[in-house]
Amino acid sequence: MATALVILAAGKGTRMKSDLPKVLHPLAGVPILAHAMQAGAALAPERTVIIAGHGAEQVEKAAHAIDPDLSVALQTEQLGTAHAVAQAAPALGGFSGDVFVLYGDTPFIGADTLRRMAEARARHDVVVLGFEAADPGRYGRLVMAGEQLERILEFKDATDAEKAITLCNSGVVCADAETLFSLIDAVDCDNAAGEYYLTDIVGLAQARGLSATAVSCDEAETLGINSRADLAAAEAAFQARARTAALDGGVTLSAPETVHFALDTVLGPDTVVEPYVVFGAGVTVEGGAQIRAFSHLEGCRVAAGAVVGPYARLRPGADLDQGARVGNFVEIKNARLGVGAKVNHLSYVGDADVGAGSNIGAGTITCNYDGVMKHRTEIGENVFVGSSTMLVAPVRLGDGSMTGSGSVITENVPDGALAIGRARQVTKPGLAMKLFDMLKLKARK
């Protein structure tokens, strides 16, 4: 059965107290919205429609950065969840299959849960996702009769006996496209808020003789984010799960509670991660690598046997081959280090290729930016770059070449050559003592 996703992301999120749309606040290094999109991607949807409202241009840009092929529909007035889903109808014109309605501010719905909903759809016309709440509070209750979902009951309308029900409504639903939009067309706004509620489709389905059911998931999957406190709780929940998954996958975390993961962090078995390491988005570390304490990585690849840190920063485009070493207070950006290459301390290597076996001395900088454009530095294999060398790109150092410490290199260096680009030292005997005496005299006046 073909599948489509409709993800509701139109709300302003007033309680966030932010100009940024709620679904774009970062969670595990990516927008909250990306989590809902990733969960839905497990269903291999033919179409995805994001319903945007507040900050629609920002939401559309962020959504298309994740999936350029999705559609964005605009909900200009927030008139309820059924009204929001109705805005997806034009984008799903001609689609025949199941539609899943997810929420951009509910990041943890599991792929397995959505698959179980899809399996239930084979037997029922409408499927609702519920959860057993430890404290049902004011959640809507799911009233079941065996496998049949009879209705969704709002807390304020429930009797004392019905308030004792612990199976609560998450808001996530699934139905085939024709049924879903037909039911939504019949929803009215005859309620205190004057809004069109998606939950009303269950009662409408029953009135038409259609079958509805509920699938239950762990309450943690239904965590919604409405405030900064909720966002902090969601971050803590994600990090706890990510750390457990890493440990279960054969990764050594010497202080798990201090390591911060992104949604897409990939760590191979036998990777060692020391305390206070932060993984931003887009990081892959192959098995057997070592990430030492207080390092920050984003948008990079670290091959097997490589060592990073302590106190290192790998920025987007950093690519470390097997056995490469990046030491303390080193920054690598959009640069490849070949097999066994070393940049051990106090250096910046950006927009560069460093060949296998080369050694970059302390304090070296690839001067890659001229104020307008970026330029590339090419360093061959088995090159020795002396400490405090400035490599003014574009420039190439040939295989087996060497630079003298303190050099400013502005021209290509042939294979096997030594390049020295520094002023000749001049020594003035006794002048230091005279200068000190003059300065001390001046300071006393």
86 close to 184: Cβ distance less than 8 angstroms: yes
Beta pairing, strands 126-132 & 167-176 = antiparallel
Kind and range of the H or E run holding 31: strand 30-31
CATH number listed for the domain at residues 3-222 = 3.90.550.10
| Tokens standing for residue 211 | 């079958």
CA neighbor of 105 nearest in space, from 47, 148, 59: 59
SS (H, E, C) 404-429: CCCCEECCCECCCCEECCCCCCCCCC
**CA–CA distance, 290 with 390 (Å, rounded to integer):** 29
pLDDT (0 to 100) of residue 136:
84
Question: DSSP state, 212?
Answer: E
Amino acid at the residue 251: V
pLDDT (0 to 100) of residue 249:
97
| Residue range(s) of every CATH 2.160.10.10 domain in the chain | 251-419
**CA–CA distance, 212 with 150 (Å, rounded to integer):** 7
168 close to 140: Cβ distance less than 8 angstroms: yes
Per-10-residue mean pLDDT of the chain, 445 residues long, equals 94 90 96 96 96 95 96 93 96 95 96 96 96 88 91 82 90 96 93 86 94 96 95 97 98 98 98 98 97 98 98 98 98 98 97 98 96 96 98 98 97 97 91 92 85
Number of H helices, E strands in the chain: 9, 35
Residue 337, Cβ neighbours under 10 Å: how many? 29
23 close to 33: Cβ distance less than 8 angstroms: yes
Question: For 221, phi and psi rounded to 5 degrees?
Answer: -70, -25
pLDDT (0 to 100) of residue 135:
87
Amino acid at the residue 138: R
Question: DSSP state, 95?
Answer: -
| Residue range(s) of every CATH 3.90.550.10 domain in the chain | 3-222
**CA–CA distance, 157 with 267 (Å, rounded to integer):** 50
Bridge partners of residue 279, in order along the sequence: 297
CA neighbor of 367 nearest in space, from 383, 355, 349: 349
CATH number listed for the domain at residues 251-419 = 2.160.10.10
Which residue has tokens 């400490």? Answer: 387
Q: Which residues are known to be catalytic?
A: 345
CA neighbor of 140 nearest in space, from 14, 224, 51: 224
**CA–CA distance, 308 with 296 (Å, rounded to integer):** 9
**CA–CA distance, 254 with 232 (Å, rounded to integer):** 24
What are the tens digits of pLDDT across the range 185-206?
Answer: 999 988 777 889 999 999 999 9
45 close to 3: Cβ distance less than 8 angstroms: yes
What are the tens digits of pLDDT across the range 244-287?
Answer: 999 999 999 999 999 999 999 999 999 999 999 999 999 999 99
pLDDT (0 to 100) of residue 156:
79
